[in-house]
């Protein structure tokens, strides 16, 4: 009985110690975004536009398929968060498994998920990994593309495929 109480007390203490070191998602992503801004790894819109035209850069999106389908930056590629490392192989490696795109800009809605994934990508050996939020892209009146059609969504606007802009950008 005493051994059981000792083990129970020990496990409670161990759990308490672990819990005191736990960092919430919000706190961690906020810290990582602040660090990215300080270190110059928070991409600007101009850097994203430039990266889309360069051979040694990839702009990858870690949002869900639904978010990607609703709005994405033309020329970016979705890697999602399920297995981004596997998805990246097809984008950044050649047939000999050598880096052809050693630099990344990681995109999500507010850069929170991007900041978390950027850490893993840096550990994978990428030269430069920056983060970016698609909300900024949209707010600055840059076009997004969508995968939704009026054929699938009968309540839709019946617009044709092409570039879409935020309402405040229409003049």
For residue 98, what pLDDT band results from cuts at 50, 70 and 90? Answer: confident
What six digits make up the tokens of 49? 């536009």
Residue 38 pLDDT exceeds 60: yes
pTM for this one?
0.79
Q: What is the pLDDT of residues 12-26, one digit of tens each?
A: 555 555 556 778 889
DSSP string for 3-57: HHHHHHHHHHHHHHHHHHH---HHHHHHHHHHHHHHHT-B--HHHHHHHHH-TTE
Smallest Cα–Cα separation from 148: which of 41, 71, 47? 71
Distance of alpha carbon 149 from alpha carbon 90, whole angstroms: 27
| Domains, the chain, with CATH or none | 25-169 (3.40.250.10)
Residue 1 pLDDT exceeds 60: no
pLDDT, position 112: 92
Distance of alpha carbon 139 from alpha carbon 110, whole angstroms: 12
pLDDT, position 18: 55
With a pLDDT cut of 70, the percent of the chain lying above it is 79
What six digits make up the tokens of 98? 């050598």
Residue 1, CA distances (Å) to 7, 10, 11, 30 in order: 10, 14, 15, 46
Residue 20, CA distances (Å) to 8, 15, 60, 106, 121 in order: 18, 9, 34, 30, 27
If you average pLDDT over residues 76-92, what whole number do you get?
A: 83
């Amino acid at each position: 009985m005493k051994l059981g109480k000792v083990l129970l007390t020990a496990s409670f203490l161990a759990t308490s110690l672990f819990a005191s070191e736990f960092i919430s998602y919000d706190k961690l992503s906020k810290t990582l975004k602040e660090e990215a801004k300080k270190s110059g790894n928070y991409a600007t819109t101009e850097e994203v536009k430039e990266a889309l035209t360069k051979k040694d850069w990839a702009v990858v999106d870690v949002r869900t398929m639904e978010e990607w389908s609703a709005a994405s930056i033309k020329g970016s590629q979705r890697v999602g968060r399920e297995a981004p490392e596997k998805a990246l192989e097809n984008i950044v490696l050649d047939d000999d498994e050598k880096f052809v795109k050693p630099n990344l800009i990681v995109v999500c809605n507010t850069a929170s998920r991007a900041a978390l994934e950027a850490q893993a990508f840096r550990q994978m050996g990428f030269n430069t990994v920056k983060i970016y939020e698609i909300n900024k892209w949209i707010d600055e009146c840059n076009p997004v593309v969508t995968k939704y059609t009026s054929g699938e969504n009968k309540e839709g606007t019946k617009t044709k495929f092409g570039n879409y802009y935020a309402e405040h950008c229409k003049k």
